[in-house]
Structure 1
Amino acid sequence: MKRSVLRFLIVALITTMFSPLPSKVKASGALPEANVVWVNGAPFINVDGVNYAPMMLFINADVELAPAKAKLEAELEFADREDVKFVSVNLTFPWRSSDSGTRSWYYSKINTWLSFIAETYPNAYIIPRIWLGSHIPDLLADPSLDSERIAYTNQTKENVLSLGSAEWQSGMVEAIEDGIAHIEANPIYAQRVIGYHLAYGDGGEWFQYHYREYGNDVSPANKAAFRAWLLDKYGGEAQWAAAWGLSAIGPNDPVIHKEPSTANKAFLESVVNQDDIDFNAFTSDLVADSIIKAASAVKRVTMGKKLAMAFYGYLFELVDANSGHLGLKKVLAAGDIDMLASPVSYFDRGVGGIGSHMTTVDSVALHHKLWMIEDDSRTYLSEITPQNFPTAELTIEGHKRNISSAIVHRTGLWFMDLSSNGWLNDSSMWENIGNMQQFYKEYMQTAQPLKPDVAFIVDEQSMQYMSAGRQINSALLFNQRTNIYRSGLSYGMYLLEDILNGAVPDAKMYVFLNAHVLDTNERNQLNQLKNANRTFVWVYGADIIDTSALGAATGFTLSKATNVSPSSIIKINANASGPWSNLAGVQLALGLQSGSYPFFTISSPGSAAVIGRYGTSSTGQPAIVAQDFGTWKSVFVGSGNLDVNLLRAIADYAGVHKYMDAGDVLQTDKTFFSIHASSAGIKTLKLPVMSNVRDAFSGVLIGDTTDTVTFTMSNGETRWLVLEKPTAAKKYKFSNGFDLAAKGFTYSGYNSTFNTSTGVLEATVTNSSLGTGPILITPANLGVDADDNPHVNIRIRNVSGASVSRIYWTTDTSTSFGEDKTSAIAIGTNMGSYTNYSFDLSNHPNWSGTLNQLRFDLITGPGIVNGSKVYVDYVEIASKPPFAAERFTFATGFDLGAKGFTYSGYNASFNTSTGPLEVTVTNSSLGAGPILITPGRLGINAADHHYVNIRIRNLSGASSSRIYWTTGTSPTFGEDKASTISIGTNMGGYTNYSFDLSSNPNWAGMLDQLRFDLITGPGIVNGSKVYVDYVEIASAP
């Protein structure tokens, strides 16, 4: 599949989005200026006024360049070929405290790698990843820095400075200042560097070193920083002592523990465990503040002209209270941060896996920060085993899965050659990357903000109150993703704060994964959302810490369950009905690791429905409870694991649409769908409304005016589908076994028989003496807007001598069939094959309002005898005739600009306020007539549609009309792609004309755009007019 096919699948996109903005002229030699811009609901990286898709290649400079050079050159050349504009490479800015030899060594390495990229791929823009640590030999050689290094209770130290170190805080800023100055003075690559990815902490990803193995950083530097934080928080030692339940603060306070000293205690409590709660909050504050400080240095030094990025916010991955990653809210509020990032989750990322995000990715988009996915998948070319994708084909499918997540959740992505050993050195792999990037650019130009049906919500503060954070949150957050991603639902991931402040788009269902700590203000804010029949789902326990009324926010009264442990089960009631019926009698695991944790129950469910109970007894403590409170619904789920089938049952209860069965990995924004198959077999996509469904890569229409499509997939395959508004507002295709009565049709059984067993509707006249042919009446309450859908199309084979077909209709204001609402067309007689016909009602005065019902007198007039037959493939109500691939009808108020048209306003005026398009020449001295250009990205196969039809009334002396066109392989208008027809002059009425392109050798490929020179040649004067009723691209004149 070539990009020339893919790039035309999204219709009516804004074609100027990727052109330089005219408002700024870049001075010769000036350094580039970059920022993140949001177009509608989608992000782009803007460099000097040009928007680019946020996709990038990463290469690793921790190797010697010479042995890796050939493979890296190949990857850069592939990136150049596919126009992937951004490249990243990991480097280090030396510290001022290092000697000149050390500094020169680091700068030489920077020069080598950045020059290599700029010279191999001259048009690339570079975002180097910068390590902010000091030179290790310098650190180890200076005893005065010993207390500044990260230290553990086992007396070991890391060879890096603590984030709490004042030495590090000042040194890294100086390194940023000097490093940027060095880069911006370099004549080879200065004009290619557009931002800095700032890295520190374990793996450069800003989480605490070895905190799971060795515990917290207890260094004197970190202790001093913690003390200063506490004094700032509480305002003084007395207030600090009161909060911690101490009589006074001593000179050795605060004590930093290796980990919370709370054996067999799952949650921390205020006052009792305030020291641990505060340390967890301090650790995340320190990391967040450090990232912001580094980003602010970049912005200050570059005068705001370069991007600043960091890894951060791994809420689903680093679920511990002391990871340092629980300050995402603060980082998102920082104006100097442009981009955040994480790898694809290491949980279930291989063939058939979910490839999930590590963060509440949709909150990042709400704050207009660009999230970047690091796709460090072990491709089939990786030397690391086991490989995530062991073949070239599966690697391509894995890349599709990961990019589809970027499309749906409005993020970017970089492809990573982790070892600079040619993991991406494959032409077919890069052709796929290029195709995906082209789709991203075109689709995202008109993409709106994600509006999921289900919002999954994470609370950072509640995570800071965890003693057994990893044990409990692994179920609530880390492992929970597999249930979410395989649910077949439309979903988003958000921070609790964004729900409370109203930033999250309205959803039908809100799932609170860990809302353990809520204060009075937060409860009140949640109460404001308890309306519009929303469903709130509370997982494990909610509003359970530092409260005297457990679960108050849920609408239930919670209490601790007795004799329930992680090995217990929940059994769904055997008589469960309604949305719960498929779960009746099922036993569900609680999902938590072994340990001593509380579980919660509903003390007095009252009128609430108890769906499941702890244990196997029918009188066990309630574990799953649902209640409709009138304006909102509440569902309490006592397990940590939100079983995927339980999640789908709750979705049914909430009125949420299920797009697919559970199991495969679905990502969707309700227009774009990505399905990554976790098993081979037939897949079914179920839609809430009738749509056209197109394969995004091949361009093949796989579903026409349908709410269900099925297709076969192999394990690990990824399918991209795009929904389009159907041409037909209502379509009935009479396939094998179509049950007319069950579908609401009525028909003239008194004079004809009707049969669909052969795959079409076969109507046979049985009593011609009645003087009528077979009559078919659609179901009532069609609900179709007649003004928007002026065509009734039918595909029939008439095996009779009758030569007319007729329709009648009723509307919401005219409810009976009659001769005032009828139309007839001529049809062929005794036909050997099927033919498409269209009733054109666009000029019928009574085709208006909302249609209620259609009656088809399938064949009428002389020539009907007993045994006469007519076969009907389908009937539809549509915006255009069946042979038109695209039709633009210029009805009253048609907004040319909003519909994507451009036109020659410099020499003519264009007006649709009175109905058809009225074009008046205002400056004939320019020597050209009025020009009208369609939207781009038409995506129509020229080979199937040889005619361009136009219905006009020419009130000028010009006697010709001319068209030009562009295609995927020839994207500019020119005389090689043009055609002219003769038209009447000073016409009294409208006339249909057709450009027949069937013999034009350049009418080929996928059509992009049409240009109409409506009237051309002599006879054009000021005031000349031409009226246009419609233009269309069609398979027939």
Structure 2
Amino acid sequence: MKCDITFKRRLCPLLLAVIVTAVFSASLAAAPFRDVAKPVEARIVQHEGRPAIMINNRLAPPRIYALSTDVGLRRTWEEAPRYCLELFARQGMRLFQVDVWLDQMWTAPDRFDIDLARRQIRGLLDVCPDAAVMFRLHVNSPPWWNDLHPDQCVRFADVEVKHLYINPVLSQLIEDLNPRPRHSIASKQWLDQCGEKLAEFCRLLGETPEGNAVFGIQVAAGVFGEWHYYAFVKHEPDTSPAMTARFRSWLRERYGDDRALQTAWNDLNATLAAATVPNVEERFSASAGYLRDPQKERKAIDYFRCQHESVTDAFIHFCGIVKNNWPRPIIAGGFHGYWFKMFGRMAAGGHLEVERALESPMVDFLAAPQTYGHLAPGQSGLARGLVESCRLHGKIFLDEMDVLPAVWRVKSRGQRDGADERLAESIAVLRRNVMQSFCRGGGMWYYELPSVHPHHATDTAISMWDHPEILTEIAKMHALQSKYLNRKYESPADVLLVFDTESFYYSGHKKDIDPISTELLDGVTEELLHAGAAVDMIYLFDLDRVDLDRYRAVIFANLHKLDGEQRELIASKVARNGRHLVWQCAPGYTDGQKLTPENVSSVTGISLAPTRTTKARVSIDSPEIAKVELGNGKVVEPLFVVNDASAIALGRLVESEQTAFARKSFGSHTVWYSNVPMKSRAILRHILTEAGVHIYSDRYDVVYAGSDLLLIHTADADARTITLRNGKTIKLQQSHPSTVLIDINTGDQLFQ
């Protein structure tokens, strides 16, 4: 009897998958995705209020399947990748991504052959003739080029370059976090010469039959092709002659003459001709606690701005080559705009000049893997970048979904123990990760990784998505996205979370120097997404682009640097209409020219005074809020306390009893202030409730909303009540932690 029940349980999902696949196959056979006789033309269009991919005047749901870079899963014509491609083609997938490396085509100074790229496309079209393909094209310089141009390769302030042997069969990406020979991203020779080969690639492939299937090129360079500076996590790039030349050119354009440079750097010996990239000591200097003093540490501030401009300008440069040399319109973009989970190394390897990419007509999309560390069941599944800012600029943000479904996790090689029990977790996480980006107006791709198949006794290079219920879920989400893509896009969020890129130029260079900024980004955001409300997230430079009338609460995260124009914008446009403003730590502590501690009081509207403590712990002990503690218990400087009789004290420093958390009401708005990050979903929910924000869930569930959809991701199976804006309530009683999708207008549960 037990065997019979087990068989039926496994057979039903399999039959459902077969039925769904048959429906998709029949519909696709009747209506091919594209006319294979016509070359593909692609662009990003604004469709019903959201950026969307248009291919040959046909709207394409923003979902893609991407092969791996791993050996055995990257060549379309080989057996295992072919199986994976067929698997997704049967689910209705018609947009695919495959990798190709410049160094595998440009194998010597006088030898350039694009046959590898053509074979990659042919292998896909053999499986799915009406597919459209995006290349992830790695524009890193070939190893032989690095040998010929050592002065154009990255060097490090803290360590010598190591010449590591890389098996040519393996991916050239595997040692990107180690200080090995790689081109400097500031190298003009790399930009020019690899740019010329990219242009040649586009012209040659664009005129081939295989090139007719290409809808986009994702240009890739830097760590893992993700436009991070090489070895940035543990090391200090880039002191190469190439970067030194770029830095001096940048300084000359910024300052014009030696006297202006000497004044800015407070160094009478500084000259434009002899300026050097900062050494380790200069990089780690932060004389204002966790912040840099621009009058003392301008050299490091200037260098990191130059480095980030160099990275983003290189990214735009290669995107522009694609746009200008492909014989037809296609889309171009790549990994860029990473904001969360940057290892406390944002200045060393992040994308702080993302505004340049968002404003460039050469860039159609940004992409990133989802935020590692926020992907477990019950967590937010947060996109790595700010999807809403992308949308405001008419770009589409594409999440890379590379989370191995829990059903494949095994205790050791060949064991299947626990696989069935983890299936519910797999579906909940998959649905959350895929649909959150769609709700926010973005898209995604499924990335392939090797996995362990539960029906085989040994490890097998087979699709990690190859489970009947997972495939059924993928097909269901595809159908849902296709339907709701044609709905008018509106975000129902009434909470706005605002981040600042420039403040990282003035922040300490690693987490033990700056224990605050990472908490303000990763910690506060995760807690806010559990507060039960719908949230939009943007960069400060987009504050004047949004319709502020929609927001009842605006939460400012890491705005350590605010200039006069930015302060005026917030005072005149945000602090009004009964809105609640939430401030944390030391907003406006610098205006970019000098330290301005008095501005912290003027920005918040609350009288604040500097203080010191050995452990920054804040006890919230107010009748209004549940008793909790904030702060990481570390020394925090600068640190402010409330010295304002008209403010209501809500929390105090544990060591000194000084007021550290307060609220103050004005005629036009209300201000909340905490001198440490508000890393508490209970506190944030209380503030949002006081602001009149709509709370969807009566539990601390993850909430995303948009595209007429409401996504609720639960950490447990307890009963909960969901309340829509129109007053409808939905009672949820799940048998396990889950992700529920609800039509935000009708209240219908879309996936049961």
> After TM superposition, is the score higher than 0.5?
yes
Separation (CA, whole Å) in 2 of partners of 1:167 and 1:483: 46
Match of 1:809 in 2: none
Match of 1:256 in 2: 278
1:726 is displaced (CA, Å) by 8.7
Q: Which of 718, 724, 741 is residue 720 of structure 1 equivalent to?
A: 741
1:82 is displaced (CA, Å) by 2.4
Tell me whether 1:125 sits opposite 2:125 in the alignment.
Answer: no
Q: Which of 119, 143, 159 is residue 154 of structure 1 equivalent to?
A: 159
For the 8 Å contact 2:103–2:143, the answer to whether it is kept is: no
Tell me whether 1:350 sits opposite 2:376 in the alignment.
Answer: yes
For the 8 Å contact 1:152–1:219, the answer to whether it is kept is: no
Q: Higher mean Cα deviation, 397-406 or 49-58?
A: 397-406
In 2 relative to 1, CA 461–138 (structure 1 residues): closer, same or farther, beyond 3 Å?
closer
Match of 2:576 in 1: 531
* TM-superposition CA deviations, 1:705-725 (whole Å, max 9, x none): xx3221212444211111335
Instruction: Kindly provide the amino acid, as one letter, of the partner of residue 698 in structure 2.
Output: D
* TM-superposition CA deviations, 1:457-485 (whole Å, max 9, x none): 10001121101553322211122232022
1:522 is displaced (CA, Å) by 1.0
1:68 is displaced (CA, Å) by 9.0
Instruction: Kindly provide the amino acid, as one letter, of the partner of residue 516 in structure 2.
Output: I
Separation (CA, whole Å) in 2 of partners of 1:644 and 1:385: 34
Tell me whether 1:635 sits opposite 2:643 in the alignment.
Answer: no
Separation (CA, whole Å) in 1 of partners of 2:411 and 2:256: 54
Tell me whether 1:53 sits opposite 2:61 in the alignment.
Answer: yes
Tell me whether 1:589 sits opposite 2:642 in the alignment.
Answer: no
* TM-superposition CA deviations, 1:574-595 (whole Å, max 9, x none): xx3xxx2x42xx1313136x45
Separation (CA, whole Å) in 2 of partners of 1:389 and 1:265: 51
Separation (CA, whole Å) in 2 of partners of 1:537 and 1:389: 45
Tell me, what secondary structure is at the counterpart of 2:496? strand
Instruction: Kindly provide the amino acid, as one letter, of the partner of residue 289 in structure 2.
Output: K
Separation (CA, whole Å) in 2 of partners of 1:645 and 1:75: 44
Q: Which of 355, 361, 367 is residue 393 of structure 2 equivalent to?
A: 367
For the 8 Å contact 1:533–1:633, the answer to whether it is kept is: yes
Greater share of strand: 1
* TM-superposition CA deviations, 1:740-762 (whole Å, max 9, x none): xxxxxxxxxxxxxxxxxxxxxxx
Listed as ranges, the gaps of 5+ residues in structure 1 are 7-18, 691-706, 728-938, 941-1037
Match of 1:405 in 2: 436
Separation (CA, whole Å) in 2 of partners of 1:710 and 1:647: 24
Tell me, what secondary structure is at the counterpart of 1:346? coil
Separation (CA, whole Å) in 1 of partners of 2:668 and 2:561: 25
For the 8 Å contact 1:510–1:535, the answer to whether it is kept is: yes
1:424 is displaced (CA, Å) by 1.8
Match of 2:121 in 1: 114
Match of 1:314 in 2: 338
* TM-superposition CA deviations, 1:377-396 (whole Å, max 9, x none): 11247589899998444322
Tell me whether 1:277 sits opposite 2:301 in the alignment.
Answer: yes
1:252 is displaced (CA, Å) by 3.1
Match of 1:610 in 2: 649
For the 8 Å contact 1:554–1:636, the answer to whether it is kept is: yes
Separation (CA, whole Å) in 2 of partners of 1:57 and 1:326: 29
Separation (CA, whole Å) in 1 of partners of 2:447 and 2:35: 34
Match of 2:231 in 1: 210
In 2 relative to 1, CA 100–169 (structure 1 residues): closer, same or farther, beyond 3 Å?
closer
For the 8 Å contact 2:139–2:194, the answer to whether it is kept is: yes
Match of 1:164 in 2: 186
Match of 1:486 in 2: 530
1:413 is displaced (CA, Å) by 0.7
Separation (CA, whole Å) in 1 of partners of 2:76 and 2:567: 60
Greater share of helix: 2
Match of 2:562 in 1: 518
* TM-superposition CA deviations, 1:75-116 (whole Å, max 9, x none): 322322222221001211249974278634xx3432332211
Q: Which of 550, 572, 584 is residue 599 of structure 2 equivalent to?
A: 550
* TM-superposition CA deviations, 1:113-133 (whole Å, max 9, x none): 221111111111100101111
Q: What fraction of aligned residue pairs are identical, expressed as a percent?
A: 21
Q: Kindly indicate whether structure 1 or structure 2 has the higher relative contact order, using CA contacts under 8 Å at least 6 residues apart.
A: 2
Instruction: Kindly provide the amino acid, as one letter, of the partner of residue 581 in structure 2.
Output: F
* TM-superposition CA deviations, 1:22-56 (whole Å, max 9, x none): xxxx9995521101112122332101100010100
Separation (CA, whole Å) in 1 of partners of 2:632 and 2:683: 13
Separation (CA, whole Å) in 2 of partners of 1:391 and 1:623: 44
For the 8 Å contact 1:269–1:465, the answer to whether it is kept is: yes
For the 8 Å contact 2:76–2:123, the answer to whether it is kept is: no
Match of 2:203 in 1: 181
Tell me, what secondary structure is at the counterpart of 2:558? coil
Alpha-carbon RMSD across the aligned residues, in angstroms, is 3.2
Match of 1:74 in 2: 83
Separation (CA, whole Å) in 1 of partners of 2:160 and 2:509: 24
Tell me whether 1:291 sits opposite 2:322 in the alignment.
Answer: no
Separation (CA, whole Å) in 1 of partners of 2:636 and 2:742: 46
For the 8 Å contact 1:398–1:716, the answer to whether it is kept is: no
Separation (CA, whole Å) in 1 of partners of 2:532 and 2:17: 29
Tell me, what secondary structure is at the counterpart of 2:313? helix
Instruction: Kindly provide the amino acid, as one letter, of the partner of residue 133 in structure 1.
Output: N
1:682 is displaced (CA, Å) by 1.1
Instruction: Kindly provide the amino acid, as one letter, of the partner of residue 683 in structure 1.
Output: R
For the 8 Å contact 1:285–1:327, the answer to whether it is kept is: yes
In 2 relative to 1, CA 128–236 (structure 1 residues): closer, same or farther, beyond 3 Å?
same
Instruction: Kindly provide the amino acid, as one letter, of the partner of residue 337 in structure 2.
Output: G
Instruction: Kindly provide the amino acid, as one letter, of the partner of residue 397 in structure 1.
Output: A
Separation (CA, whole Å) in 1 of partners of 2:615 and 2:674: 15
Q: Which of 683, 690, 704 is residue 646 of structure 1 equivalent to?
A: 683
Instruction: Kindly provide the amino acid, as one letter, of the partner of residue 265 in structure 1.
Output: G
1:648 is displaced (CA, Å) by 0.6
Separation (CA, whole Å) in 1 of partners of 2:52 and 2:18: 22
Instruction: Kindly provide the amino acid, as one letter, of the partner of residue 192 in structure 2.
Output: S
1:654 is displaced (CA, Å) by 0.9
Tell me whether 1:197 sits opposite 2:218 in the alignment.
Answer: yes
Match of 2:475 in 1: 434
In 2 relative to 1, CA 597–211 (structure 1 residues): closer, same or farther, beyond 3 Å?
farther
Match of 2:495 in 1: 454
Instruction: Kindly provide the amino acid, as one letter, of the partner of residue 85 in structure 1.
Output: R
Listed as ranges, the gaps of 5+ residues in structure 2 are 1-12, 21-30, 162-178, 413-417, 451-460
Tell me, what secondary structure is at the counterpart of 1:709? strand
Give TM-score, length-normalised by structure 1: 0.62
* TM-superposition CA deviations, 1:862-910 (whole Å, max 9, x none): xxxxxxxxxxxxxxxxxxxxxxxxxxxxxxxxxxxxxxxxxxxxxxxxx
Match of 1:891 in 2: none
Tell me, what secondary structure is at the counterpart of 2:599? coil
Larger Rg: 1
The count of aligned residue pairs is 681
